A and B are shown apart, each in its own frame.
Chain A
Amino acid sequence: MILRPITAILARELVRTLRQRGRLLSALVRPLLWLMVIGGGVETMMPAGGSSYRSFMAPGLLAMTLLFGAMLAALSLVHDRESGVLRMLLIAPIHHAWIVLARIASATAVALMQGILLLLMLAAAGYARASWDFALLAFALIMTAWAAACLGMLVAVIVRGLENYAMIMNVVIFPVFFLSGALYPLHGLPSYLRLASSINPFSYGVDLLKHATPGTIAGASTAAGAATDFSLATDIAVLGGFIVGATLIACWRFCQDGTITGLLRPPHRARAAG
Chain B
Amino acid sequence: MGAAGGATGAMIEATGLGKRYGSTVAVAGLDLAIEAGSCVALVGANGSGKSTTLQMLSTLLPPSAGTARIAGCDLVRDPVGVRAAIGMVFQETALDRTLTVGDNLRFAGALYDLPADQVARRSQELLALFELEGRRATPVAALSGGMRRAVDIARGMLHQPSVLLLDEPTTGLDLGNRRSVWRHLERARREQRTTLLLATHLLDEAADCDLVIFMQGGQVIGQGRPLELIAALGAWVLELAGSPLATAPFAHLGEHRRDGARLSIMLRDAAFSLASLDQAALARLDTVTLRRPMLEDVYQRQFGGTSPA
Contact = CB atoms under 8 A, between A and B. Distances in A.
A93 B80 contact: yes
Size bin of chain B's contact surface: 35 or more
Interface in A70-112: 80, 83-85, 87-95
A7 B90 contact: no
B107 A90 contact: no
B98 A260 contact: no
A121 B98 CA distance: 29
B44 A12 contact: no
Contacts of B47: 272-274
Main secondary structure on chain B at its contact with chain A?
A: loop
A196 interface: no
Nearest to B43: A274
Contact of A1 (B49, B88, B113): B113
Contacts of B186: none
B78 to A, nearest CB: 10
A166 interface: no
Interface in B95-112: 95-99, 103, 106-108, 110-112
A274 B168 contact: yes
Interface of B: 26, 44-52, 55, 58-62, 80-81, 83-84, 86, 88, 90-99, 103, 106-108, 110-114, 155, 167-168, 199, 201
Interface string A257-270: 10011001000000
A19 interface: yes
Contacts of B60: 87, 90-91, 260, 264
Contacts of B99: 12, 15-16
A5 interface: yes
A21 interface: no
A4 B48 contact: no
B80 A94 contact: yes
A246 to B, nearest CB: 24
A88 B107 CA distance: 9
Given A84-B94, A93-B84, A4 B108 contact: no
Nearest to B93: A84
Interface residues of A, number: 31
Nearest to A16: B98
Main secondary structure on chain A at its contact with chain B?
A: helix
Contacts of B51: 273-274
A54 to B, nearest CB: 36
Contact of A264 (B48, B61, B106, B110): B61
13 contacts: A8-B110, A8-B111, A12-B99, A20-B98, A80-B96, A84-B93, A88-B107, A91-B86, A93-B81, A264-B61, A273-B26, A273-B51, A274-B51
B112 A93 contact: yes
Contacts of B114: 4
Given A8-B111, A15-B99, A274 B91 contact: yes
A274 B96 contact: no
Contacts of B90: 84, 87
Contacts of A12: 96, 99, 103, 107
- Output the residue of A1, A15, A85, A93 with the most chain B CB within 10 A: A93
Given A12-B107, A93-B83, A83 B168 contact: no
Interface of A: 1, 4-5, 7-9, 12, 15-16, 19-20, 80, 83-85, 87-95, 257, 260-261, 264, 272-274
B142 to A, nearest CB: 14
Given A91-B60, A264-B61, A274 B94 contact: no
Nearest to A86: B94
B37 to A, nearest CB: 22
Given A274-B91, A274-B199, A264 B55 contact: yes
- Output the residue of A8, A87, A257, A273 with the most chain B CB within 10 A: A273
Contacts of B52: 273
Contacts of A7: 110
3 smallest beta-carbon distances between A and B, as pairs: A8-B110, A93-B84, A92-B111
Contact of B80 (A15, A84, A95): A95
A90 B46 CA distance: 24
A87 B46 contact: no
Given A9-B111, A85-B94, 19 more contacts: A5-B111, A5-B113, A8-B107, A8-B110, A12-B96, A12-B99, A12-B103, A15-B99, A16-B99, A84-B93, A91-B58, A91-B59, A91-B60, A93-B112, A94-B111, A261-B61, A273-B26, A273-B50, A274-B50
Nearest to B92: A84
Nearest to B27: A273
Nearest to B90: A87
A12 to B, nearest CB: 6
Contacts of A257: 62
A95 B79 CA distance: 8
Nearest to A273: B51
A83 B97 CA distance: 8
